[in-house]
Amino acid sequence: MRPWSVLNVAMQNPMESWAFLRWAIHDPMGSRHYFIDRWKHRDWHIRMYPVDHDWRMRIGSTDDDRKQTEQLWPSVLRRLEEQGLRPGPESYFFWNDGDPAFIQAIWCLVRRLQATKVVETGVAHGVTSRFILEALGMRGGHLWSIDLPPPGSPEKHHEIGAAVIDRTNWTLLLGSSRQHLPHLLKEVGPIDIFIHDSEHSSTNMLFEMRLAWEALRPGGALIVDDIDLNWAFGEFSKQIKCEKLVAEAEPIRPDLRRFNQKGLFGVLLKPQSSAMKP
Ligand SMILES: C[S@@+](CC[C@H](N)C(=O)[O-])C[C@H]1O[C@@H](n2cnc3c(N)ncnc32)[C@H](O)[C@@H]1O
């Protein structure tokens, strides 16, 4: 890749290049892999992750799910804004809050699977945590969340979970998923739903998905955000037999770093009767 061609691309897409540069400063390794993949195989996302436009129907999302999440959004956004926090893409360093489509998928699955045990990694402002707790609250249940706030920025640690109001059914573990996830899953498993939204390196995603799949009860769901950042979700889903869905995120502002300016998330539904191992 020659410097002039990089400059040429940057001049053609100034906003996108600026977003990339900020991301590269915060996450040099992750952004480098993503950028090289994009450069070498411009259409790998499309080949690896054909979008299931009917994902709502396939997970059984109803009008009620949409209405209920839409009703809750204004109060979640207000709570963040009252604390001076800007929701949406790049809201906590270079990380994004859960977008409305991702939230709708989570909401629907928590309700449809009658989940009582949910584990998530990656909390940031706690948008996903808040919606999970509200969806669980209707029948009782518990959410365990793991987050490793950036150690170099202690002044931002109080923002973790800012969107959550009622913490009764919530356990927040501070530290990396590598540190907490193995014994948490041993202690609380089998679980109904696992959500990955922490460090999106392929190593970490594979580590979390493998552990979580084992701890998931038959019929449970694994929901993975930002799958378009690397090949991990595609590789993992090839190793197991299950229903796989790829959905487009619907961010409240375009995410200029992404190939489709939105991002993708994935859902894996564990068969009802199997003890399949990856
Ligand atoms: C994309 S944000 C989570 C957004 C959140 N799910 C929401 O919708 O509001 C990613 C979070 O993962 C945390 N994180 C980064 N690396 C981690 C790791 N190795 N283990 C656990 N959490 C991590 C970051 O501190 C950040 O808060």
Question: What is the overall mean pLDDT for the chain?
Answer: 89
Taking CA atoms, 272 is separated from 3, 59, 87, 173, 269, in Å, by: 53, 14, 37, 30, 9
Choose the weakest-confidence range: 26-40, 216-230, 263-277. 26-40
Q: Which residues line ligand 1 (CB under 6 A)?
A: 92, 95-98, 121-128, 146-149, 176-177, 197-199, 204
- Ligand 1 pocket test, candidate residues 99, 147, 158, 202, most atoms within 8 A of CB: 147
pLDDT digits (tens, 9 = 90+) for 80-127: 999 999 888 888 988 889 999 999 999 999 999 999 999 999 999 999
Distance 201 CA to ligand 1 centre (A): 12
- From atom 16 of ligand 1, which residue's Cα is the shortest distance away? 199
First to last CA, the chain: 37
pLDDT at 277: 45
pTM given for the model: 0.88
Q: Which residues have C-beta within 8 Å of that of residue 122, sequence separation ≥ 6?
A: 95, 128, 146, 147, 195, 196, 197, 198, 199, 225
**How distant, in Å, are the alpha carbons of 82, 127, 161 from that of 78?**
6, 12, 14
CA 6 to centroid of ligand 1, rounded, Å: 30
HSE-up (13 A, CA, CB side) for residue 127: 28
The position carrying tokens 């892999």 is: 33
Whole-number Å distance, alpha carbon 88 to ligand 1 midpoint, is 14
Confidence of residue 278 (pLDDT cuts 50, 70, 90): very low
pLDDT of residue 135: 96
From residue 131, how far is each of 26, 53, 75, 108, 270 by CA, in Å? 28, 23, 11, 11, 22
Q: Check if the beta carbon of residue 96 is closer than 8 Å to that of residue 128.
A: no
- What spacing in Å lies between the alpha carbon of 28 and ligand 1's midpoint? 17
Please give the average per-residue pLDDT across 22-28, as a whole number. 74
Give me the domains of the chain, ranges plus CATH numbers: 1-42 (no CATH), 50-269 (3.40.50.150)
Contact 211, 146 (CB under 8 A): no
pLDDT digits (tens, 9 = 90+) for 41-78: 666 677 788 999 999 999 999 999 999 999 999 999 99
12 pLDDT higher than 70? no
